Amino acid sequence: MGGEGVDPSCVADERRSLTEYLEWHRRTFELKCAGLGQAQLSELSVPPSGMSLHGLLRHLTSVERWWFQQQFAGEDLPILYYSDDDPNQDFEKLDGDVEEAFALWRAECERSREIVRAAESLEQKGTRLGTGEPFTLRWLMLRMIAEYARHLGHADLLRERIDGEVGE
């Protein structure tokens, strides 16, 4: 239950390698959730953690938008699953249809892909909204790979707890 299908190329330039690894992680996350219904995807892990696969899905959806669209591309969009009054709603509010949540995640991922394809180079810069600090597309791609990798470990444990399935 890992990133079945196309593995990242063993011989590729930097941009292709970063893109393929991020895609592998996105595909693996989706596979970790495959075959589960709304109740299973929303099942909380072991207390005191409030983590669930549905919560991870919402979190990764907001992370895609926040980093690629809002900070890198400078698009003026609302933040998903977050407010100052309720900063953890991505993990804590599991209302709404999970299939709609997956559709939104896929759309955010596709918009991220478009932004990466349109970038002239890995040196192109975005700006962190909180600090004004610049960052490169290279840094962003590495950060997103790390974000997904960390959460894939969580997804492995959550999936194993739900139905005994384990990842690679």
User: Across residues 38-53, what is the average pLDDT?
Assistant: 88
Q: What is the pLDDT of residue 90?
A: 73
Tell me: pLDDT of 60 over 70. Answer: yes
Paired residues of 126 in beta bridges: 135
Distance of alpha carbon 139 from alpha carbon 133, whole angstroms: 12
pLDDT for residue 167? 62
Asked whether the CA dihedral 35, 17, 114, 5 is positive or negative, the reply is: negative
CA 122 to chain centre: 20
3-class DSSP state for residue 72? helix
pLDDT tens figures, 134-162: 999 999 999 999 999 999 999 999 999 99
CA distances from 40 to 47, 87, 93, 120 (A): 16, 24, 15, 42
Specify the 3-state DSSP secondary structure of 152: helix
Do residues 54 and 98 touch, judged by C-beta distance below 8 A? yes
Q: Is the pLDDT of residue 131 over 80?
A: yes
- Tell me the three state secondary structure of residue 135: strand
Q: Is residue 146 within a helix (H) or strand (E), and if so which, with residue range?
A: helix 137-163
Q: Which helix (H) or strand (E) holds 27?
A: helix 14-33
Residue 165: which of 40, 7, 23 has the closest Cα? 40
pLDDT-derived band of residue 5, with 50, 70 and 90 as boundaries? low
Tens of pLDDT, residue by residue over 107-116, are 999 999 999 9
Residue 35 and residue 164 in contact, taking contact as beta carbons nearer than 8 Å: no
